Amino acid sequence: MNLKKFGLLTMLALGVLGVSSVAQTNPTDDQLLDSFDKARFLEATSFTITVEVVADRPDETKQATVQLFFKEIKGERYARIEFLAPEDMKGQVYLNTPQGVFFYQPGLASPLKISGRQQVFGDASVAETVGIQFKKDYKVKARRNTTLNGKPALEVDLTAIDKSVAFQSATVTADAATLKPLKARLFALSGDPLNDVTYQEYAELDKDSYVKKQLIENQLIKTNKTLLNITKTEAKDFPDDLFDPSKLGK
């Protein structure tokens, strides 16, 4: 190969690398939101996880175990929360569906339609327990460079695209290089902060990233904290009826 041709190929290669670098350092809004979700959620279309929940209060610590079921049905994401412990909460079920959030427990004639901000256990709302879908529910309002724990980070302000979204605004702080979320602050409609969520630990299932451990800190009652720790994950198919509110209690 002559030197001129080699030099041209080298310049083209560097140009491609340069474009790739720019794409990584200046992601579009859609790329940002997509990265936030892909890092935190398994990409399997049907799976279950078991979560140990520890709610710390100044006077006591309470614990619960919940099993979550997820399934994509006709392109939409559904989630179901069931209590495995404590004993007196067994039978309680939360369904998070495109049609809304539903709650059922033994004794109810029919499931109740509730808000995604309804607390499941401790400070963990339904929305936080099943995982907030940034790409589906938010648009980017602003972004800025910052640092977190001495490392470069990107801070992104988000606003909900629909009034039904549990938290109408949020600020996500992500690693500047990987765009993996590190923290999120969730706000009330008034603009007051409600919860700070720290994504403490990530794990992988067959090279698929997900948040294993997250800490929720109540911003209205500063002493209240709730830790969610995933102890088991399994990709498995489930019937659509498991996510149908009309089937609860039947």
pLDDT in tens, 143-162: 999 999 999 999 999 999 99
Is the pLDDT at 23 greater than 80, yes or no?
no
**CA 64 – CA 51 distance, rounded (Å):** 8
| pLDDT for res 227 | 98
In this prediction, residue 185 has a pLDDT band, given cuts at 50, 70 and 90, of very high
Any idea which residue has 């309804």 for tokens?
118
The structure tokens listed for 89 are 């909460």
Q: What sign for the dihedral angle of Cα 109, 111, 117, 120?
A: positive
| pLDDT for res 249 | 85
Average of per-residue pLDDT values in the chain: 90
| Lowest mean pLDDT, pick from 62-66, 77-81, 189-193 | 189-193
| pLDDT for res 124 | 98
Give SS3 for 128. helix
Q: Give 111 or 20, the one with higher predicted confidence.
A: 111
**CA 204 – CA 133 distance, rounded (Å):** 19
CB 81 within 8 A of CB 243: no
